[in-house]
Amino acid sequence: MNNECVFCKIADRRIPSDIVYDGEKVLVFRDLKPQAPIHFLAIPKKHISSLNDIGKSDMPLMADMMEAVKDVAERYKIGADGYRVVVNCNENGGQEVFHLHFHILGGRRMTWPPG
């Protein structure tokens, strides 16, 4: 738990969000500024700053994150057509919120390479 962290506040319900999945250890909610018809963020409820900070003991939690991704992809019907999962890490990765999150983007054709 990090008192100043916006995603910790979302996990704690101290600030509102549009939640689409509420698991024991993982929360998924809609991104405030969606970049696609479906744009969710999957977060661990515990504070992990970035992908660099995932420890070996977090591997079961990472499995829960992937289960959550699959769950929302199926329920929001983007699984069959396909979707993209993005983790921005640190400055060159374009990370703005320093609480690990997986962007889940779907509902349109993605382009490659990313910007």
- Taking the least distance from each CB to ligand AMP, the nearer of 73 and 104 is 104
Instruction: Name the residues that contact ligand AMP, by CB under 6 A.
Output: 6, 17, 31-33, 41, 88, 94-97
Cβ distance to ligand AMP smaller for residue 33 or 109? 33
Q: Which is nearer to ligand AMP, 2 or 88 (CB)?
A: 88
> What whole-number distance in Å separates Cα of residue 85 and Cα of residue 64?
15
Where are the strands (E) in the chain, listed by range? 19-22, 26-30, 38-44, 83-86, 102-106
All residues at 6 or more sequence positions from 59 whose CB lies less than 8 Å from its CB, including other chains: none
Closest CA to 76 of 34, 16, 46, 113: 34
Catalytic residue positions, numbered: 101
